[in-house]
Structure 1
């Protein structure tokens, strides 16, 4: 059965359509959605089978995943990670924004996502569609970029082309307009020191 393709306007997301997306997530569905960087693929962090499906699509073992979480705001972060005061203050300044923060994970991170890993990636994108999805769901979602090195770059920007590629692999594709093709900047926050792991969208001078 092909995925649903639904239009949601980023400036004023339709609450009814957000609920439709969240129903899909609650039922173990995989959803492709826009962010403030590239389009992402995600599911409910507590649905093991859905996480395994994403790992298969990415061609990796679930235990080897590099998935991050999308949270609604900073209040979610302490539920899953340990954050020092300096890091928290800086995150408060730059989030929502195009950054992924690698933090020390705590025991609340679902086992499948934390196997052999002591860290977790946290995203609070500056985009209301994924944030409202998380708020309505009541917990974070797994997020991973759908742009792979061997894919044509347009697949990460044009939602119609994304749908053509993934319509038989996922359950829903959100058309939130054209996406970007620059990923988030990844920052490791460790004991209130910062390391740029990957420079992407977003000002890195704030971490120096």
Structure 2
């Protein structure tokens, strides 16, 4: 939905040059929206979880989503409600953190009350991590897997060590 994508960019204070991720319910759905050049097992070793994988986008994605790049970040959070919501939708969910760009990541709905008046719907699924843990505020670990045979860490995030271990030791990247 192009209008929804524009609303997110506006709310976040972003422009189309700073990409949004997509949220999917299952790894199987990823193949529709991305060009995958890594083993399926690798995807399943990292997802669902606190990792965003950056892959080449397919023609299936809305053209207004990240119009200035051929890549897209994909999240499959390890949160039952979010995954069920993503499964129930007819397409991917545009995904972003619940804060204005460059501000600290939020873990509860109360932490982004200033944005509530601009939102159509707020669903409180509980905290998305330990509120006392500084690592939880780092966001997901973002890994670019768009180039065959290698990976690039775009953001270290909260799952850097286990992600790098899987990529290097199990897959030799």
TM tier relative to shorter chain: 0.7 to 0.9
Check whether the contact 1:48–1:112 (CA below 8 A) recurs between aligned residues: yes
Q: Distance in 2 between matches of 1:149 and 1:112?
A: 19
**If each structure's strand is expressed as a fraction of its own residues, which one has the higher value?**
1
CA shift, 1:81, in A, is: 0.8
CA shift, 1:66, in A, is: 1.2
Residues 40-62 of structure 1: per-residue CA shift (max 9 Å, x gap): xxxxxxx111111111111122x
Residues 154-179 of structure 1: per-residue CA shift (max 9 Å, x gap): x71232232x2122110111212223
CA shift, 1:146, in A, is: 2.2
SS class of match (1:112): coil
5+ residue gaps, structure 1, are 1-46
Which region of structure 1 is more displaced relative to structure 2, 188-197 or 124-133?
Answer: 188-197
CA shift, 1:113, in A, is: 1.1
Question: Runs of at least 4 residues of structure 1 off by over 4 A?
Answer: none
The 5 Å alignment of 1:23-62 reads: 47-61=1-15
Aligned residues: 157
Check whether the contact 1:160–1:175 (CA below 8 A) recurs between aligned residues: no
Q: Distance in 2 between matches of 1:100 and 1:148?
A: 19
Structure-1-length-normalised TM-score: 0.69
Q: CA RMSD in A?
A: 1.8
Structure-2-length-normalised TM-score: 0.82
Question: Structure 1 123/150 Cα, relative in aligned 2: closer, same or farther at 3 Å?
Answer: closer
5+ residue gaps, structure 2, are 130-136, 169-173
